[in-house]
Amino acid sequence: MREIFQEVTSLIEEGLYSVFNRPDIVILNLLSLLVLFIIVRKFLWTKVTTYLELRQEALTEALAAADAERERAQELQEKSVREYERMKEETRELKDKLMQEAYQQQEALVTSAKAEAKRRIEQAEKDIAFEIEQANEAVKASIKDVAFAAARKIVKREIDESMHEEIIDKITNERTKKT
């Protein structure tokens, strides 16, 4: 292994010192490099630079297009957010309006129901008063009938006072049984 290492080391040193030992190789390498540079400059340089410039322009255009698309996307996003907020506000306003209308309808129904209940109560009170009046009239008529019947029977017979009371009781009992 040591031998291989020494051999590689000696080859490297020989190559490094060849500049001093063999200057003709160095000059030949320099001339080759110069000729290569001239050939590249004469035949390839314009094509390579033109290709690189075109490539750079294409990349610049692509970046500009990407920036324009990014700005457009950002504007669309902002527009969508504004539209969403506007629709959200409209929805809230519509909800508030519908709630207000529902409350007003509820109030109208309650008021209407109260008025209807009051009207029915008043009508029931009138009906009750009318029936009471009719019952009073019927009672008065019954009392008159009883009084006239008692008077007829009393007049028909002239009887004593105990008989008179007995007859009145009998007639009143008959009337109460009928009603």
Sequence-separated (6 or more) residues with CB below 8 Å from residue 168: 150
Torsional sign, CA 168, 171, 177, 179: negative
pLDDT at position 158? 56
Residue 164 pLDDT > 70: no
20-34, 63-77, 164-178: which is most confident: 63-77
60 vs 10, more confident: 60
CB 175 within 8 A of CB 146: yes
- Domains of the chain by residue range: 2-178
